[in-house]
Amino acid sequence: MGLFNRNNKTKKNKGTAEGQNLVVPAHIAIIPDGNRRWAKERMLPVAAGHKEGAEVFRRMVRHAESLGVKYITFYAFSTENWKREASEVETLMKLLLNFLVNSEKELGKDKDKIRIKVIGDRTRLSEDLQREIARVEKETENNTAITANMAINYGGRDELTNGVREIAEKVKNGELNPEEITEDTVESHLYTAGTPDPDLLIRTSGEERISNYLLWQLAYTEFYFTEKNWPDFNKHDLEEAIKAYSNRHRRFGGA
């Protein structure tokens, strides 16, 4: 039967296995940390770590969908990552472009299940990358099994600043009154507009901070940290994180 039984879910997205009720998060956010560390430990070039991390990304999206997760958001490239060595930035951009160019092959049998979306400021990305992002988003927009958000040139403060600027412009143009601004107004001007906030955040490689990631969206998210580097993260680890989440009592700000 396996740990998660998709056929026994309730409206609250609960799966039952081996007599235990497990709550499957609707949305999982991931900070896939440790690619460089993984490569260094094996005396491999940094590029090898990022390539292996990309493979894990593909496997985790597929496995998350099989468990009933509806959204999964990866921190693929932050606004701060531009400060890294030029060769490493080039490697990351090539990996992202290669995935998008070959998306039908990369997604394989799941090509009609997975919706790909990119969140972040695209203006600094190459024309080739921007073009492929637009193409893949359009081609997968009707896929409903799972949405895989790729945060590229993303920063939480940048996102909020951009959203505030858009709202201020509407106020300036008389399209919006200041007293009409609500949390929903702010949410609708974020890169993640229309996507529910993450239920669970997973960060690998032993780091325990959010690193300017989804600052607004993580307000009531449960955090799960693991010592494993991202290239070593596997299906069992994802299930363990979900099991830990199932045992949390979410209060959403209450006592």
Q: Are 45 and 26 in contact (CB under 8 A)?
A: no
Q: Among the options 5, 13, 81, 143, which is catalytic?
A: 81
C-alpha closest to that of 228 among 76, 12, 75, 33: 33
Q: Are 193 and 117 in contact (CB under 8 A)?
A: no
The one catalytic residue among 5, 7, 13, 33: 33
Angstrom CA distances, 169 to 159, 190, 193, stand at 15, 15, 18
**Does the annotation mark 81 as catalytic?**
yes
Q: Residues for the chain: how many in total?
A: 255
Instruction: Sheet with 222-225: list strands edge to edge.
Output: 114-119, 146-154, 71-78, 27-31, 200-203, 222-225
* Alpha-carbon span 228 to 224, nearest angstrom: 12
Integer-rounded Cα radius of gyration of the chain: 19
Torsion angles phi and psi, residue 162, rounded to 5: -65, -40
* Residues labelled as active-site residues: 33, 81
